[in-house]
A = this chain, B = another copy of it.
Amino acid sequence: MGRKRAVVTIREVAKAVGVSVATVSSVLNGRAHTRVAAETRQRVLEAARRLGYCPKRSAQALRTGLTYTLGLSVPLCPDSLLSPFFYEAVKGALKTAKQRGWLVTILGFQDRQEELALLQAAAEQRSVDGVLLFDPQDDDPRLPLLKGRLPFVVVGRCFDPEVVTVDNDNVQAAKLATQHLLRLGHRRIAFVHVPLRFVTAQDRLTGYRMAIKEAGLPFDANLLAGTEGYYGVEAGYRAFLGLLKRLRKPPTAVLAMDDTLALGVLQAAQQHGLRVPDDLAVVGFNDSPFAAHCEPPLTTVRIFAETLVEYATDALLRLIRGEPVTPKRMLVPTQLIVRASCGAMSRKNK
Q: A2-B148, A52-B124, A125-B57 are in contact. Are A106 and B90 (CB under 8 A)?
A: yes
Q: A62-B62, A67-B58, A290-B289 are in contact. Are A105 and B103 (CB under 8 A)?
A: yes
**Contact residues of A with B, CB < 8 Å?**
2-3, 5, 7, 52, 54-59, 61-62, 65, 67, 69, 76, 78, 81-82, 84, 87, 90-91, 94-95, 98, 103-106, 108, 121, 124-127, 148, 233, 263, 267, 289-290, 293-295
Query: Who on chain B is nearest to A84 by CB?
Result: B82
Can you sample 22 A-B contacts with CB below 8 Å?
A: A2-B148, A3-B148, A52-B124, A54-B124, A54-B125, A56-B62, A56-B125, A57-B126, A57-B127, A58-B58, A58-B61, A76-B95, A81-B87, A81-B91, A82-B87, A91-B108, A94-B108, A98-B108, A103-B127, A104-B105, A104-B106, A267-B293
CB distance A90 to B108 under 8 Å? yes
State how many copies of this chain the complex holds.
2
Residues of B within 8 A of A263 (CB): 293
Instruction: Select one of B55, B67, B94, B106 contacting A76, CB under 8 A.
Output: B94
Q: CA A37 – CA B58 in complex, angstroms?
A: 33
Separation in Å of the A152 CB from the closest CB of chain B?
A: 15
Q: A78-B84, A90-B106, A290-B289 are in contact. Are A57 and B67 (CB under 8 A)?
A: yes
Separation in Å of the A331 CB from the closest CB of chain B?
A: 25
Query: Who on chain B is nearest to A56 by CB?
Result: B126
Query: Who on chain B is nearest to A82 by CB?
Result: B87
CB distance A81 to B90 under 8 Å? yes
Separation in Å of the A90 CB from the closest CB of chain B?
A: 7
Residues of B within 8 A of A127 (CB): 57, 103
Q: CA A143 – CA B38 in complex, angstroms?
A: 39
